[in-house]
Amino acid sequence: MTYPGQDSAATGRAASLAPPLQRLHIEKIAVFRALQIGDMLCAVPALRALRAAFPQAHITLIGLPWAAQFARRFHSYIDDFVAFPGHPALPEQPAQEERIPGFYRDMRERGFDLALQLHGSGQISNAIVRGFGARENAGFVLADDSAQRAALFVDYPEQGAEPLRLLHLPRHLGAPADDTDLEFPLIPEDEQELRAAGIGAGLQPGRYICIHPGARMRRRCWPPQLFAQVADTIASEYGMPVVLTGAGSEADLTAAIAGCMRTPAVDAARPMSLGAMAALMSKARLLVCNDTGVSHLASGLKLPSVVVFGTADMERWGPIDRELHRCVRGAEGAEAILAQARALLDATDSAAAPTPVQ
């Protein structure tokens, strides 16, 4: 089977056209970003910029199957969702061979006016997007890849935080791209699911700490005994309960931490939607987590956080707001994480303190 991305004929140049795109008649837009939750949250500023430029356009997100819920949550920016069946050169999911021909046929029949590649440098993904058959294509391209360069393509940024890198494309296209905030809107169903689970019962808003020890790749997880040390110290010094969060598949991690702790903890690792977990975290005073998607969730919720990094690129994947969110290398040890946690907790104490009567 031939896939877009393997056939050199599929990498022909898009028609030359000077931005800004407001000069074009754009009614249907496809956005390709088939990645996991953290990567998708990093794309929210770019999606917001696209919507601002084309408020009346019908925008379709093409992503991993799980992202149907992402599209529903961000319905202000996304009108439709199509599940991507995969590609043999992309690692996020196995390619569903039987679905691929029908998928590309469906994309072409939709008659997109513009297709955006927000998936990365474009070595594979630009040809995938060109396979959608849109009238115009735009995306990122490596600086030395002259074969794929066209007027609506921009050099893939090699530096900067991920949301800022992605904003280079809508800015190049003439869209307003100055708002870098992440967001994660909560909906009533999130609170309803959380109440039904009974996890938040007895927890006072602003009076508990969340510890999220998991990550999609276990090798990126900080050791449970060190998370336990941080949790015990914060609980003792600030008199607040600790809630251990995670997916159902991470129950072994939260159990290991609870087993190492001297103080009781609420173990909230169980099958639950991302929205319900966000509802739980939204009322916390602080989050301590690994460098994983939950750190971007904290940015969207404006929840103070300490993000524990391994060897990953902190400049790229760390939060943009380094006052509200602190990044620490796990190799620096528990005391370094605790120092940042104390700074954030003390800052929120000061902010909540009443103004003295004169």
Please tell me the predicted confidence (pLDDT) of residue 51: 95
H or E segment at 254?
Answer: helix 251-260
Please tell me the predicted confidence (pLDDT) of residue 218: 74
Please tell me the predicted confidence (pLDDT) of residue 201: 81
Closest CA to 266 of 274, 278, 275, 258: 258
Q: Is the pTM of this model over 0.85?
A: yes
Rounded distance between C-alpha atoms, residue 271 and residue 255, angstroms: 15
Catalogue all structural domains in the chain, each as residue range(s) with its CATH number.
Answer: 8-172 (3.40.50.2000), 188-352 (3.40.50.2000)
Is the pLDDT score of 358 beyond 60?
Answer: no
Strands (E), 142-207: 153-155
Token readout for 40 is 């998708």
Q: How far is CA 131 from CA 25, 104, 115, 274, in A?
A: 21, 7, 10, 32
Is the pLDDT score of 189 beyond 90?
Answer: yes
Please tell me the predicted confidence (pLDDT) of residue 23: 62
Token readout for 318 is 């760390």
